[in-house]
Amino acid sequence: MSELISKYLPNVASLGWTGDSGWGTAIFQTIFMTFWPAVVGGILGLVFGLTLVLTKEGGILANRVWFNICDKIVSFFRAIPFIILLAFIAPFTQLIVGTQIGTTAALVPLSLGVFPFFARQVEVALESVDRGKIEAAQALGSTNWDIIFDVYLSEARAELVRVSTVTLISLIGLTAMAGAIGAGGLGNTAIAYGYNRFNNDVTVVATLLVLILVLIVQLVGDWLAKKLNHQVR
């Protein structure tokens, strides 16, 4: 196997597994940069998405001020291209994680880059919950917390898994750009060690690895969404 790789993909083999430029390191970095922003951006996105739906006109906590604040924050961060966001919030990144470069530094802009996207997706997912169900719960004397957890989040859970899958995949895409601030990852391998050095085999292999990662996320997401959904016979 390794002989075959050395013969047909010499540049791929020369990068090795470990070390700064190693494949293992790159894969780990990509997963690392996907996981933490997914957690932080996921929570932020869920909170903002929920707030948007609840405070919207006609929502159970309708409040123009809160809605507008959330709506503007989400729109603002969504409007900034990610590559610019990386640079734009560098001082803030320094404040939070103590450095402006490297894999850890990328976590902050990645979280901020992914949360508005997720917030909008959550908003759409929660709005798919029929108003009638909310009304029925209110008529039963449910509290707002009941409605949030037992109606909105519970009824939309398959849809939430689906939008999380989409978000996770787009987040994997964003990690490729984090190479610009020295964060490494498979995207960086494809550009820095592949494209820039005319090592096409490295580019192809890095791309394939990203594809495999995306495929795994997609398959798990689809399986989970299907398992959680009882709305269709």
Partner 1 sequence: MSHIIDLDHVSVTFGDLHAVSDVTIKVDKGDVYGVVGYSGAGKSTLVRTINLLQLPTSGTIEIAGTTFFKDGVAQISGKELQAKRRNIGMIFQHFNLLNETTVIENVAFALKHSDLDDDAIEKKCYELLDLVGLKDKAENYPVQLSGGEQQRVAIARALANDPEILISDEATSALDPQNTNQILDLLKRLNKQLGLTIILITHEMDAVKKVANKIAVMEHGKVVEQGNLRDVYLRPKAELTRQFVGGSLAAADTLRSFNLGELSDNEQLYQVVFSAANVTKSIILELYKQVGVDVSMLYGNIEVLGDEPVGTMFILVTGTPAQQAKVTKLLKSFNVEVSPVDGGILA
Contacts to partner 1 by CB under 8 A: 130, 132-133, 135-143, 146, 150-151, 154-155, 157-158, 228-233
- Comparison of 160 and 191: residue with beta carbon closer to partner 1: 160
- Comparison of 105 and 156: residue with beta carbon closer to partner 1: 156
Minimum Å gap between C-beta 136 and partner 1 is 4
CA-derived radius of gyration, the chain: 21
Nearest to 53 by CA among 162, 156, 167: 156
Nearest to 125 by CA among 75, 165, 169, 160: 160
Minimum Å gap between C-beta 18 and partner 1 is 46
- d(CA 207, CA 188) in angstroms, rounded, equals 11
Minimum Å gap between C-beta 160 and partner 1 is 11
- Comparison of 68 and 229: residue with beta carbon closer to partner 1: 229
Minimum Å gap between C-beta 217 and partner 1 is 23
Minimum Å gap between C-beta 41 and partner 1 is 25
Q: At a CB cut-off of 8 Å and minimum separation 6, what does 55 contact?
A: 61, 62, 63, 64, 66, 67, 70
Minimum Å gap between C-beta 52 and partner 1 is 22
- Comparison of 138 and 207: residue with beta carbon closer to partner 1: 138
- Comparison of 157 and 180: residue with beta carbon closer to partner 1: 157
Minimum Å gap between C-beta 146 and partner 1 is 6
In the chain, what are the helix, strand and coil shares in percent, each to the nearest 5? 80, 0, 20
- Comparison of 123 and 159: residue with beta carbon closer to partner 1: 159
SS3 labels along 99-156: CCCCHHHHHHHHHHHHHHHHHHHHHHHHHCCCHHHHHHHHHCCCCHHHHHHHHHHHHC
Nearest to 125 by CA among 150, 148, 79, 157: 157
Q: Are 15 and 23 in contact (CB under 8 A)?
A: yes
- Comparison of 124 and 204: residue with beta carbon closer to partner 1: 124
